[in-house]
Structure 1
Amino acid sequence: MGSLGNGRNGSEPGIQMPVMGGNAVLEPTTSSVPRCPRLEMAMVATRVAALVMALLSMLLMISAKQRGILIIFGIEIPLYANWSLSDSLEFLVGISAAAAAYSLAQLLSIAHKALKKVPVVPSRRYAWMLLAADQVFAYAMMSAGSAAAAVANLNRTGIRHTALPNFCKPLPRFCDFSAASIVCAFIGCVFLATSALIDVIWLSNL
């Protein structure tokens, strides 16, 4: 067995190729994954935005509590509104917390890779996993926001052709905080969907 060099005078380093039976056999090499600084910055930005929106959605909904008095036909009825009294609003809080935890975990992973100076997306398999997870959380945020929006709209408009009134008049703080939380959830869904789009671009470059 011998080796061949690609240097002109034999002293320069070259690619070593083992020769077996007079035939050169190239040893397999692992190609490095290309780094895309712009895509990495875009990924960080969208995940930071998704984290902020998910946290705001959760915190605003948790803060949606208020007591008030409803007057119907001259009768005063005490009211108490709390996000935990509605399954749809609890669902939004839970999904927002999960999306915030997911976004934070991805940011920590990116920071760890940056310190080790390795690609943020090391392989196609990893990119596919990111794409699937981003889509799951984007759809979950959309679903939770839609469910909460139905409850918030009912509180604001009441039920037509019944005596059920607009609860947002005696409970304006609760309704405003709920509405702001739902808006943040939908915005967070947009940023998660944008992250999924960035994952697709990564896949096309790998």
Structure 2
Amino acid sequence: MMSGRKTGAEVGIQLPEAKVAAAVETGTMSGPLVTARPDHRSGGIRRKTDVIHLVLRMLCLLTSVTAVSFMATAKQAATISIYGFQLPVYSKWSFSESFEYLVGVSAAVVVHSLLQLLITLSRLLRNSPVIPSRNHAWLIFAGDQAFAYAMLSAGSAASGVTNLNRTGIRHTALPNFCKPLHSFCDHVAASIVFTFISCVLLATSAILDVIWLSKY
């Protein structure tokens, strides 16, 4: 005869639905029948990081293009007085190797920023991670760091020439060239400012790359 009592196997199979749900909620039940809930917080943090990368690329592209534009348009003709003689002078950014170096580095940063911006934007539109692997992260970090140092070097070199133009040369009668060539010097100064801003943005992007490498 069959008794009214249930066997151990039957009890294990016929667990009340309320208890199963409670076990899943508290995380005390495991096995093939229980599926772990996805961690939406990690995906949200990564999404915010991707958006920050996109914003940094856009800002770096704008500042580097502005730096190139100001320097490439830095030219002016004027008259200057030396030892009582009025002499015509003409200044252009291409006359200085430091300014040419700044234009070259800034142009390279424009290409780098535009390329990274397009890659980042395409990945965001496809809802895929901007940095898909650690190797990719290391590659971006190396590029951002190298260009940040290059922009810092170019801005520093151009600053030295600009400061000489503004102050003149000590112990000689050579004047402050930026007085008659104020438009030229203003363009150069603006270019240098945006060059340093681009350097800061690239350094910030490199820091984000390091943070990503430390977490993933």
> So what's the TM-score if we normalise by structure 2?
0.78
Q: Secondary structure at the match of 2:213?
A: helix
Runs of 5+ consecutive residues of structure 2 not aligned to the other structure: 1-12, 14-30, 33-41
Is 1:51 equivalent to 2:61 in the alignment? Answer: yes
2:28 pairs with 1:37 = no
**C-alpha separation between the residues in 2 aligned to 1:127 and 1:54?**
22
Distance 1:174 1:151 in 2: 13
Q: Is the Cα–Cα contact under 8 Å of residues 83 and 173 in structure 2 kept in the other structure? A: no
Q: Does 1:168 align with 2:184?
A: no
Structure with max Cα Rg: 2
Q: Out of 144, 155, 159, which is 1:134 matched to? A: 144
Is 2:99–2:158's contact at 8 Å kept on the other side of the alignment? yes
User: Quick one: which of 181, 190, 206 aligns to 1:180?
Assistant: 190
Percent identity over the alignment is 52
Q: Which runs of 4+ in 1 moved over 4 A?
A: none
Decide whether the 8 Å contact of 2:145 with 2:206 is kept in 1: yes
2: CA distance, partners of 1:172 / 1:181 = 14
Q: Tell me, in whole angstroms, the C-alpha distance in 1 between the residues paired with 2:126 and 2:186.
A: 45
Question: What amino acid is aligned across from residue 40 of structure 1 in structure 2?
Answer: D
* Superposition deviation, residue 198 in structure 1: 0.7
* Per-residue deviation, 1:117: 2.2
How far did 1:172 drift? 0.3
Match of residue 205 from structure 1: 215
Aligned length: 177
Cα distance in 1, alignment partners of residues 160 and 82 from structure 2 = 24
- Residue 115 of structure 1 deviates from its aligned partner by 2.7
TM-align CA RMSD: 1.6
Distance in 2, Cα, partners of 1:152 & 1:131:
31
**TM-score under structure 1 normalisation?**
0.82
